[in-house]
């Protein structure tokens, strides 16, 4: 089986949110699709390990916001790669709440839907939630929706490991990093996060993490992680453009 064939399936990128007992959560999903028109129903696939799966099941409602092509890596990192278990994703996010208390992210999104959960199907690692659309509207008609293909190709993004579309690549990447590190002689070499697209620039360092400007990527501590998405050093590769 050639696993890369899965990349030829088309997906968009969305932020799915719900709230239960005062706990708001949301995550970046690429598996959102309309399953019926009368009534209008959407289906989403959510990993059982995600806090969002529990929150959606408990509350019985969820929202879907359609991300725009130029969505910032901040919002992708916040909702795509960090867990709501130890971090409030909504603190610095633009959103509103519906009458049912469903949070709807508006930041970097072009439209939104709010759904009432009508059916849950257990598909093994994931739950397939089906919801009837109660309301929806545009936020910005002029912008283009972000597709998963564009995210991968133009923005060098990758799926987090709980995504239904995740392909295990870590071991291959770790090897590549080791061999690339040997060939890099310039201490000013920039490195790019393969998960979210963040670029580590030695000239700037990572002062928030206590890394002084002038620190080469190789000299970063082993437990240093991407400041945007939390990916490990093994998820970076040399960046030679720009």
Binding footprint of Fe ion on the chain (CB under 5 A): 193, 195-196, 198, 226, 228-229, 231
Name the minimum Å distance from CB 24 to Fe ion: 23
Q: How many CB atoms lie within 10 A of CB 41?
A: 18
Give the rounded distance of the alpha carbon of 9 from its chain centre: 18
Residue appearing with tokens 């359609």: 66
Name the minimum Å distance from CB 87 to Fe ion: 15
Name the minimum Å distance from CB 54 to Fe ion: 26
Cis upstream peptide for 62 (omega within 30°): no
Q: Are 107 and 75 in contact (CB under 8 A)?
A: yes
Three-state DSSP class for 47?
strand
Residue 56 or 231 with smaller CB distance to Fe ion: 231
Residue 56 or 195 with smaller CB distance to Fe ion: 195
Name the minimum Å distance from CB 157 to Fe ion: 9
The Cα–Cα gap between 71 and 127 comes to: 27
Give me Rg for the CA atoms of the chain.
Answer: 19
Residue 54 or 155 with smaller CB distance to Fe ion: 155
Name the minimum Å distance from CB 198 to Fe ion: 4
Q: Can you give the length of the chain in residues?
A: 242
The Cα–Cα gap between 115 and 135 comes to: 7
Name the minimum Å distance from CB 197 to Fe ion: 7
Residues with Cβ within 8 Å of residue 185, at least 6 apart in sequence: none
Three-state DSSP class for 7?
helix
Cα–Cα nearest to 194, from 174, 165, 213: 174
Residue 44 or 226 with smaller CB distance to Fe ion: 226
Where is 180: in which H helix or E strand?
helix 170-183
Residue 117 or 229 with smaller CB distance to Fe ion: 229
Phi-psi category of residue 108: left, alpha or beta, with phi > 0 → left and psi -120 to 50 → alpha:
left
Name the minimum Å distance from CB 92 to Fe ion: 17
Residue 74 or 135 with smaller CB distance to Fe ion: 74
Residue 24 or 158 with smaller CB distance to Fe ion: 158
């Amino acid at each position: 089986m050639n696993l890369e064939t899965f990349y030829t399936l088309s997906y968009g990128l969305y932020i799915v949110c719900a709230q239960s007992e005062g706990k708001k959560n949301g995550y970046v999903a690429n598996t959102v699709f309309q399953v019926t028109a009368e009534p209008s129903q959407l289906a989403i696939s959510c990993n059982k390990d995600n806090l969002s799966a529990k929150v959606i099941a408990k509350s019985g409602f969820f929202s879907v916001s359609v991300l725009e092509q130029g969505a910032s890596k901040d919002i992708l990192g916040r909702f795509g790669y960090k867990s709501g278990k130890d971090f409030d994703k909504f603190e610095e996010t633009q959103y509103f709440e519906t009458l049912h208390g469903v949070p709807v992210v508006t930041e970097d999104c072009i439209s939104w839907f709010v759904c009432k959960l009508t059916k849950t199907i257990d598909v093994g690692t994931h739950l397939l939630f089906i919801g009837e659309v109660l309301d929806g509207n545009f936020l910005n008609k002029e912008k283009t929706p972000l597709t998963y293909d564009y995210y991968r190709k133009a923005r060098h993004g990758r799926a987090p490991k709980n995504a239904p579309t995740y392909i295990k690549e870590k071991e291959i990447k770790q090897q590549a990093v080791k061999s690339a590190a040997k060939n890099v002689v310039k201490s000013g070499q920039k490195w790019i996060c393969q998960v979210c697209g963040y670029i580590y620039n030695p000239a700037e360092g990572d002062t928030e993490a206590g890394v002084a400007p002038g620190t080469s990527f190789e000299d970063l501590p082993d437990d240093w992680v991407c400041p945007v998405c939390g990916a490990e050093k093994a998820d970076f590769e040399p960046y030679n453009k720009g």
